[in-house]
Amino acid sequence: MCGIVGYVGPVNGGRDAKTVIIDGLRRLEYRGYDSAGVAVVADGAIELRKKAGKVADLEAEIAARPLDPSNLGIGHTRWATHGGPTDANAHPHVVGKLAVVHNGIIENFAHLKAELAEKGYAFKSDTDTEVAGALLLDTYTSLEGTADSGDLTRAMQLTAQRLEGAFTLLAVHADHPDRIVAARWNSPLVIGTGEGENFLSSDVSGFIEFTRDAVELDNGQVVTVTADGYEVTTFDGEAAEGKPFRVEWDITAAEKGGFNSFMEKEIFDQPAAVRDTLYGRFDEHGALTLDELRIDASVLRSVNKIIIVACGTAAYAGQVARYAIEHWCRIPTEVELAHEFRYRDPIVTEQTLVVAVSQSGETMDTLMAVRHAREQGAKVIAICNTVGASIPREADAVLYTYAGPEIAVASTKAFISQIVAAYLLALYLAQVRGNKYADEIRAIIDELQEMPDKIQQLLDNAAQIQQLGRDLSGSKSVLFLGRHVGFPVALEGALKLKEVAYLHSEGFAAGELKHGPIALVEDGQPVFVIVPSKRSRHNLHAKVVSNIQEVRARGAVTVVIAEEGDHDVEAYANHIIRIPESAGLMQPLLSTVPLQLFACSVAEARGLNVDQPRNLAKSVTVE
């Protein structure tokens, strides 16, 4: 949570730092949007503007009180942890001649604050960040008269050694108008490298407009960035290195492209997201070639249990994947919310394969679950959409989804791509363990390859669902029912609606209805029902049709998501949304799409900010 940007360019003739930083903050705003700020170094002094509210409010503040042109600055967009979203608590925090921005939570801040207060430091905000800034200033001052006098990098290394918790900390100093110094611990930070200018950001979208060349940093590193280069060390001051990489997407992927919201655009990106996630992962005979997995086949053959750890939408993708893994590979599979995983003392051995699913790759709960699993001796495979993020870095292997940047807080194309990647993993396991013959694997891959066109067919019919969203936008609550893989899809449909439309919604296993939830159904209650394929899930289909009848008989307004040609549902449906025919396990890739479109259009009809729902942030980097 929180987005951070830093820019350092040539002293003469370069870009103006504030313009670069504001651009970056706009792109990072999905990470947190309750306050924003910029500090630049101009004429040997720090100039600061910060404001509660969105980046647009900060821009208005800068328009009213302009900042001097500068080659150096840092900026921040906040998701509040310590201290409410006020002007005073907004970052940057200026302490003496220093300005700092921070992402994360400093757990020992109370102790440090007391120590610094005793030395005479006074604090203007309630934040842990200002304490970190004061500690940095105190450390910097303590170096005076030593060989390290005036060395901001050394001061940052020593400060980082004293901070506990999670932090990415960026600092500029009025006496050093040529550099930004940063430290990273359990919180993301990448360098963007340009020609005679360099950038720092929470993720590459903060500088993608200016460069696609980036450098990953490791946990426990400090970096000093100037216009001409960067130098990486450990917290102990040992020389270290970052890992350069090239960003595979460009700025157009991070723009709305004519859609009303990023969420809507990202829903429409899904055919490409599936195609790109499949691309290059198998040969012409259908043999999977997941070279990037880097885990020996003998280890995969010895696996006797899989635990999928994830949060939110990613966990629902894991729930869908479980059905496929157990069916195709015959390996017992559990799905666990990452934040519950390690606290229940799970049975994890060297034969356990843990699969961590995360769009951002920075979700702290999932990262902690990865660490716990590895400590227990398990191998961990990450399914992730963000190259070089913490979770894939710490896992034994990674299978990237290629959904492109997901900007809207509500996850859509990442969900669909996570299912595809998890299916590829399942098929790979089936291949190396000999659970399936090559032609069986080929047949499933053929089905997967048909999905982009089928999703596109659904999107071509978006207007029907969007109209339904407008019609039902006044509802007090909406229920979602599904069986088998339709169950996690129902949960995902309900989460989307809660998240972007602030509308009470619940997803249930349709079989559970008669055990309690049916009491909720009264006249006019909208109930979405995801109907499995009649061809491939005949028994299940009949049961779900009965469930539709049961709620309809009690006054529900039924919205039935059913395959083309499924006439059995017609008598009991107030609304039918048709999806193309598919194999049972492929259906979530289709049935989720109308639910995403529905939530998006309900939120729009209610006049809400679809991309930045209240109280949320895109990547949850606190536990």
In the complex, the residues that contact ligand M6R under the rule CB under 6 A are 311-314, 358-360, 363, 366, 409-411, 495, 499, 619-620
Q: Least CB distance from residue 384 to ligand M6R, whole Å?
A: 8
Q: 105 vs 134, which CB is nearer to ligand M6R?
A: 105
Of 2, 311, 329, 600, the catalytic one is 2
**Which residue sits closest to ligand M6R, CB atoms considered?**
312
In whole angstroms, the minimum distance from the beta carbon of 370 to ligand M6R comes to 11
Q: CA 35, CA 43: separation in Å to the nearest integer?
A: 27
Residue 383 or 556 having the CB closest to ligand M6R: 383
Which among 402, 397, 426, 408 is positioned nearest to 612, based on CA atoms?
Answer: 408
Cβ at position 69, least distance to ligand M6R in Å: 37
Q: What is the DSSP letter of 281?
A: S
Residue nearer to ligand M6R on the CB measure, 263 or 445: 263
User: How many Cβ atoms from other residues are within 10 Å of residue 351's Cβ?
Assistant: 13
CA distance 100 to 432: 50
Q: Report the C-alpha gap between 619 and 15 in whole angstroms.
A: 30
Sequence letter at residue 67? L
Q: How far is the CB of 351 from ligand M6R (least distance, A)?
A: 26
Q: 560 vs 599, which CB is nearer to ligand M6R?
A: 599
Q: Please, which residue, 408 or 585, has the CB nearer to ligand M6R? A: 408
Cα 338 to its chain centre, rounded Å, is 14
Dihedral (Cα; 235, 236, 241, 242), 10-degree rounding: -10
Active-site residue flag, 2? yes
Which ranges of 434-537 would DSSP assign to H, the alpha helix? 438-460, 462-471, 486-501
Query: What H or E segment, with its residue span, contains residue 529?
Result: strand 526-530
Rounded Cα–Cα distance for residues 258 and 407 (Å):
15
Q: How far, in Å, CA of 623 to CA of 104, rounded? A: 10
Omega cis (within 30) before 517: no
Is the CB of 198 or the CB of 386 nearer to ligand M6R? 386
CB nearer to ligand M6R: give 95 or 382. Answer: 382
At position 605, the amino acid (one-letter code) is: A
Count of beta carbons in the 10 Å neighbourhood of residue 86:
16
Residue (287 or 616) nearer to ligand M6R, CB: 616
- In the complex, the smallest distance separating the C-beta of residue 70 from ligand M6R, rounded to whole angstroms, is 34
Nearer to ligand M6R, 314 or 354 (CB): 314
Give the burial class of 564: count Cβ atoms within 10 A of its Cβ; 0-12 exposed, 13-18 middle, 19 or more buried: exposed
Residues in the chain, total = 623
What number of H helices and E strands is found in the chain?
18, 25
Contact in structure between 318 and 310 (CB atoms under 8 Å): yes
In Å, the largest CA–CA distance within the chain is 86
Beta strands in 278-435 (DSSP E): 305-310, 333-337, 352-358, 379-384, 397-400
Taking alpha carbons only, the member of 586, 567, 590 closest to residue 461 is 590
Least Å from the CB of residue 411 to ligand M6R: 4
**CB 385 → ligand M6R: shortest distance, Å?**
8
Between CA 547 and CA 479 the distance in angstroms is: 13
Q: Which residues pair with 185 in a beta bridge?
A: 167
Distance CA 187, CA 176 (A): 25
Tokens representing 487 are 């169950």
Q: Report the 10 Å Cβ neighbour count for 123.
A: 16
Contacts of residue 425, defined as CB under 8 A and 6 or more positions apart, other chains included, come to: 290, 321, 325, 355, 381, 383, 399
Retrieve residue 218's tokens.
Answer: 């490791």
Q: Which is nearer to ligand M6R, 157 or 412 (CB)?
A: 412
Burial of 587 (0-12, 13-18, 19+ CB in 10 A): buried
Question: Least CB distance from residue 451 to ligand M6R, whole Å?
Answer: 21
Count of alpha carbons within 13 angstroms of residue 32, beta-carbon side: 28
Sheet (strand 190-193) strand order: 45-52, 35-42, 72-78, 3-8, 198-201, 190-193, 213-216, 243-246
CB of 410 or CB of 430, closer to ligand M6R = 410
Q: How far apart are CA 7 and CA 455, in angstroms?
A: 41
Which positions are catalytic? 2, 618
